Amino acid sequence: MFSFCTDPALLPDWQWFACYLTTGTHFAFYRSFLVVMLLLAVVAPLALGMGMLGALALRSGLAPVSLLGKGYVNLVRGVPDIVFFLFVPIALGQGIEWVLHHIHCPDWDQPIRQGNDFVVCREAKMPPVGASAWTRNVYAFAMAAIAFALVFGAFVANTLHGAIQAVPRAQIETAEAYGMTRSQAFRRITMPQMWVFALPGLSNIWQILIKSTPLLFLLGIQDAVYWARELGGAKTSLFTYPHPDWRVWYFLVLLIFYLFLTWTSERGFGALNRRLSRGQATAEGERLRKAEA
């Protein structure tokens, strides 16, 4: 990046580090933190949406819908998360290829499942054969985001269902007595109040989601953990910038990053909780009323 980086072996320490920290691989390391933030920004609304659907399914009066919601929540809660993180991208990817295979290659006369191999025609490959590295990265990221959303959506569903149950039933009955339908009472009475009860649980799920982002490393995505391990490992004189094992320093950077992220998240949820609790019949709402009196 700098003009004096032509021969790193002859540079004084500060220039050596300036050149070392501005290599292409280090910029990939810096971008990997944006990948983590992007994953959180994508997964959070997806998981919240799936959680809302799951919560509505749990309280549905239709037995098939209720069983579907209970099955989804209990299945995800009963299986280790890492199993879903590894299974969903594979299963979903093969499902997409299976559909594309039957669309593009209807005359295929060989079985798709051949022992342990999953064989489809060239036109059905995902990502497409010859796709750019950018396309492959986007595809892998999308599969990872769906896996994360499925797992955390189940926990959100359970949290929202409990929050809905916590809203006093007498208020719902009063709304219905005034002529509101069940859906109107839910939108106008239950929905505004349930977030107060759900917020502590959602805050915990968000913190767990943050701590789970290093699992991107297991899904083949070059995230911050991947680059910290690669860049921090010992480098011999065969490399342009040889150095001993510096992984402790790279992982210290990750430690600071995640601590800062969880700290700011905690403060943000605290402010949101105070705002939502204002005027509510909760302990926090009562405390705010007394403070304003």
pLDDT tens-digit series, residues 117-162: 888 888 888 888 888 888 888 888 898 899 999 999 999 999 999 8
Complete DSSP assignment for 93-123: HHHHHHHHHHHH-TT--S-SEETTEE---GG
Question: How high is the pLDDT of residue 258?
Answer: 93
Q: What angle do CA 186, 189, 194 make, to 5 degrees?
A: 85
Question: How high is the pLDDT of residue 290?
Answer: 66
Give percent of the chain above pLDDT 90: 28
CB atoms within 10 A of CB 272: 14
User: Would you state the structure tokens that stand for residue 121, as one six-digit string?
Assistant: 């025609």
pLDDT of 278 > 80? The answer is no
pLDDT tens-digit series, residues 237-262: 778 888 899 999 999 999 999 999 99
Angle of helix 133-166 relative to helix 81-104, nearest 10 degrees?
A: 120
**Domain ranges, ordered by start, for the chain:** 22-292
Average pLDDT over residues 62-85: 87
pLDDT tens-digit series, residues 179-235: 888 888 888 888 888 888 888 899 999 999 998 888 887 777 888 888 999 899 888
User: 16-23: long-range contacts (C-beta < 8 A, 24 or more apart)?
Assistant: 16/241, 19/241, 20/241, 20/243, 23/240, 23/241
**CATH of the domain spanning 22-292:** 1.10.3720.10
Under the banding of pLDDT at 50, 70 and 90, the label for residue 281 is low
Q: What is the mean pLDDT of the chain?
A: 85
* Burial of 247 (C-beta count, 10 Å sphere; 0-12/13-18/19+): middle
Residue 7: which region, alpha, beta or left (left: phi > 0; alpha: psi -120 to 50)?
Answer: beta
